[in-house]
């Protein structure tokens, strides 16, 4: 048994108005007890962060944002700074999601800048990586991940790494209903842990949490969590429903 605390995070993507977000967060708080043996985070859209923070304050549900811009402040219309995210009550920040890479031109280099900016404001990055279907079919999965991790984490110290979570999200499994098998997830997670060991040493490799993301549901979470290197999940669609998300969080007791 390892000593890593399981971590279940919900990425709400571009879903829910402010009032819908507050309603779902309120339901979730009611369904969960005040403390949990699992770390729980939800990441609503920017616009709902401050209100959702009020709804989850004092509960075991932590708040995260889905993106940031690395500059401190300035004339960057439409962007949000790390300080603004902290001021809305966030402790976590999702960085490098494949949808941002795919639709908004994020690269390994910009992801690296974002991770560094997040860390300098004590935000905890949930750093997303993953291969496309084409890359998997071309047997390129490990090369792609190697590059994403090495560039994404370039220049970070061991100390910085203590606040980083990795999220392995194979692009072909996101929103498709096609979950990676638990063996496929384990194979990649072990590869990632070994890579982290090479880059940052044994202690960081042993303590870093590696989440799996891609069509996680109440029905498949328990099986995924039996894998020794799967420390939790980054959940999209199934996190939008408080009851479903609660069943994922309580994977040990609820079927």
Question: Which residues contact ligand 13P (rule: CB under 6 A)?
Answer: 11, 97, 169, 174-175, 213-216, 234-238
Closer by beta carbon to ligand 13P, 197 or else 223: 223
C-beta separation of 166 from 209 below 8 A: yes
Cβ 202 to ligand 13P shortest distance, Å: 29
Catalogue the E-assigned strands of 110-238. Answer: 124-129, 165-168, 209-213, 232-235
Annotated active-site residue 169? The verdict is yes
Q: How far apart are CA 242 and CA 246, in angstroms?
A: 6
CB-CB contact of 228 with 186 (8 Å)? yes
Query: Of 97, 106, 135, 189, which residue is the catalytic one?
Result: 97
CB of 156 to ligand 13P, least distance (A): 22
Minimum distance of ligand 13P from residue 142's CB (angstroms): 21
Angle at 102 between CA 96 and CA 105, to 5 degrees: 75
Question: With contact defined as beta carbons under 8 Å apart, do 165 and 124 qualify?
Answer: yes
Nearest CB to ligand 13P, comparing residues 11 and 112: 11
User: Does 97 qualify as catalytic in the annotation?
Assistant: yes
In the complex with ligand 13P, which residue's Cβ is closer, 16 or 205?
A: 16
In whole angstroms, give the CA distance from residue 165 to residue 147: 17
- Residue number of the CB atom closest to ligand 13P: 236
C-beta of 243: minimal distance to ligand 13P in Å?
Answer: 16
User: Could you give phi then psi for residue 126, rounded to 5 degrees?
Assistant: -105, 100
| Residue from 99, 131, 135, 169 carrying the catalytic annotation | 169
The nearer residue to ligand 13P, 126 or 161, going by C-beta atoms, is: 126
Catalytic residues: 97, 169
């Amino acid at each position: 048994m390892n000593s890593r605390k399981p971590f279940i995070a919900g990425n709400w993507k571009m879903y829910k108005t402010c009032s819908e977000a507050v309603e779902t967060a309120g339901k979730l708080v009611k369904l969960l007890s005040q403390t949990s043996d699992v770390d729980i985070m939800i990441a609503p859209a920017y616009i709902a962060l401050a209100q959702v923070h009020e709804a989850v304050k004092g509960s075991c549900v932590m708040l995260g944002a889905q993106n940031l811009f690395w500059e401190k402040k300035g004339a960057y219309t439409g962007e949000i700074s790390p300080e603004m995210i902290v001021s809305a009550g966030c402790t976590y920040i999702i960085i490098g999601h494949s949808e941002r890479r795919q639709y908004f031109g994020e690269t390994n280099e910009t992801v690296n800048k974002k991770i560094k900016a997040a860390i300098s404001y004590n935000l905890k990055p949930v750093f997303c990586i993953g291969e496309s279907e084409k890359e998997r079919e071309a047997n390129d999965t490990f090369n792609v991940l190697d590059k994403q991790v090495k560039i994404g984490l370039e220049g970070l110290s061991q100390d910085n790494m203590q606040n980083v979570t990795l999220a392995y999200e194979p692009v072909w499994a996101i929103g498709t209903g096609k979950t990676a098998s638990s063996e496929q997830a384990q194979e990649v997670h072990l590869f990632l842990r070994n890579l982290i060991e090479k880059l940052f040493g044994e202690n960081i490799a042993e303590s870093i949490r590696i989440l799996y993301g891609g069509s996680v549901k109440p029905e498949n979470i328990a099986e995924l969590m039996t894998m020794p290197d799967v420390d939790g999940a980054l959940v999209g669609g199934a996190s939008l429903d408080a009851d479903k998300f609660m069943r994922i969080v309580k994977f040990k007791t609820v079927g």
